[in-house]
Amino acid sequence: GQNIDQPTEMTATEGAIVQINCTYQTSGFNGLFWYQQHAGEAPTFLSYNVLDGLEEKGRFSSFLSRSKGYSYLLLKELQMKDSASYLCAVLDSNYQLIWGAGTKLIIKP
């Protein structure tokens, strides 16, 4: 079966750095997405990785290792507004998106 694993919840301090991991086992791979979802709101796109390595976009970076079936989202200089759920999703060989259950990130002052 297809599976995506993320930690259920993480806590971090304002101004700090946090890394949210995602491991996947899917039938084929055509890219990995990260979305941010604030409570009661819709998911919004953060990043897309299809090649191994690190993609940096401001305070957010996303890393992919295809051989390990592993990705992480790195958030720097955490702000209170970063409190949200972070969803990892993989595009499989049929171009269907397989979603993880999401990681709820709590930022404390």
Partner 1 sequence: NAGVTQTPKFRVLKTGQSMTLLCAQDMNHEYMYWYRQDPGMGLRLIHYSVGEGTTAKGEVPDGYNVSRLNKREFSLRLESAAPSQTSVYFCASSWTTGGPEKLFFGSGTQLSVL
| Contact residues: partner 1, CB under 8 A | 4, 8, 30-31, 33, 35, 40-45, 48, 50, 87, 89, 91, 95-102
Instruction: Look at residue 21 and give its three-state secondary structure.
Output: strand
**Sign of the four-CA dihedral 19, 25, 27, 28:** positive
Provide, rounded to whole angstroms, the least separation between the CB of residue 59 and partner 1: 19
Closer of 78 and 84 to partner 1 (Cβ): 84
Q: What is d(CA 98, CA 102) in angstroms, rounded to the nearest whole number?
A: 12
Which helix (H) or strand (E) segment holds residue 3: the answer is: strand 3-5
Closer of 58 and 109 to partner 1 (Cβ): 58
Provide, rounded to whole angstroms, the least separation between the CB of residue 76 and partner 1: 22
Type of residue numbered 76: K
Closer of 9 and 14 to partner 1 (Cβ): 9
